[in-house]
Amino acid sequence: MKVTLEVNGAPRTVECSPWKRLLDVLREDLRLTGTKEGCGEGECGACTVVLDGEAVNSCLVAIGQCDTRRVTTVEGLARGEALHAVQRALVACGGAQCGICTPGIAVCAANVVERGLIGDTDDATARARVRELLAGNICRCTGYQLIVDAVIAAAREIEGGAARQAEQRIDPV
């Protein structure tokens, strides 16, 4: 089967079985090896990608379901050498240790903060929300604490920045 999809903003066409996992297409056909396989059954989240705006486990998605759809992988988060706010915060806070879960967490967290899902909430609420929204991504190294710190920092930066831009549009000083 021939499948055409948009990966990290670029159109890509692959010819393969419709049953081939999106994870394998990314890693093998497109050589995008940032997306990792940790369990192959949708439990660990290491293979998380964003499919049409929703974070999904790419080990549970067949490529046959992906025709004409948009996929963002970890390789699509940075703009050249300019890291995404979530990536910068993960480095700054020490939220990546062994790093194997990190691409999945970065992709999921970027989706969360870009959609403004943390919101303008107090820290305790924001932390609880991050824990719930990222509960599909398992990290065995960090105890999650420093990752939560990083996602909150990125959310504050992005959502704060968006709020400032909105204010500026409404009420230019």
Partner 1 sequence: MERPRPPVSPVGASVPRVDGVAKVTGRALYLDDLDAASAWHGATVRSQVAHGVLEAIELDPAFDWSAVVVVTAADIWGKNAIVLIEDDQPALVPIGGRVMHRDEALALVAAPTRALAFAAARAVRPRIAPLPAVFDVDEALTGAERLYGATNVFKQFLIRKGHATDAELDAAFAGAAQVIEGTYTTSPQEQMYIEPQAMMADWRDGRCHIVGSMQCPFYVHKAMKALLACGPDGVVITQAVTGGGFGGKEEYPSMIAAHAALLSHKAARAVKIVYDRDEDIAATTKRHPSRTRHRLAVAASGELLAIDIDVVMDGGAYLTLSPVVLSRGVLHAAGPYRCPIVRVRGRVVATNHPPHGAFRGFGAPQTTFAYERQMQKLARRRGEDPLALRKRLALRPGDTTATGQLLQFSVGTDEVIAAIEATAGAPPVRDGVNAQGAPVRRGRGVCFYFHGAGFTGSGEQHLAGRAAVAVASGGFEVRSSSSDMGQGSITIFTQLAAAALGVDPAHVTVIDPSTSRVPDSGPTVASRTAMVVGGLVERAARAVRKKLEAWAAEQNLTGSLVEIARAHAAATQAELVETATYEPPPGIHWDDATYTGSAYPVYGWAACLVDVEVDLDSYEVAITRCVQAVDVGKALNPAIVRGQIEGGTLQALGWAVLENVVYKEGKVANANMTNCIVPTFADAPELETILVEVPYPFGPSGAKGVGEIPMDGPAAAVANAVEDALGCAFDALPISPEAVAQARPRWEVS
State the pairing for strand pair 54-57/48-51. Answer: antiparallel
Q: How many residues bind partner 1 (CB under 8 A)?
A: 56
Cβ pair 171, 163 in contact under 8 A: no
Under rule CB under 8 A, residue 148 binds partner 1: yes
Under rule CB under 8 A, residue 57 binds partner 1: no
Q: What's the token pair of residue 22?
A: 């999106």
Only segment of 4-12, 61-69, 88-96, 158-166 that touches partner 1 (CB under 8 A): 88-96
* Contacts (Cβ under 8 Å, ≥6 apart) of 16: 1, 3, 25, 29, 63
Select the residue interacting with partner 1 from 50, 77, 152, 154 (CB under 8 A).
77
Candidates 79, 118, 124, 87; CA nearest to 103 is 87
The least distance separating partner 1 from the CB of residue 124, rounded to whole angstroms, comes to 9
Select the residue interacting with partner 1 from 23, 30, 137, 158 (CB under 8 A).
137
Class of residue 143 by CB neighbours under 10 A (exposed 0-12, middle 13-18, buried 19+): exposed
Under rule CB under 8 A, residue 64 binds partner 1: no
Q: Which is nearer to partner 1, 62 or 83 (CB)?
A: 83
Under rule CB under 8 A, residue 35 binds partner 1: yes
The least distance separating partner 1 from the CB of residue 134, rounded to whole angstroms, comes to 5
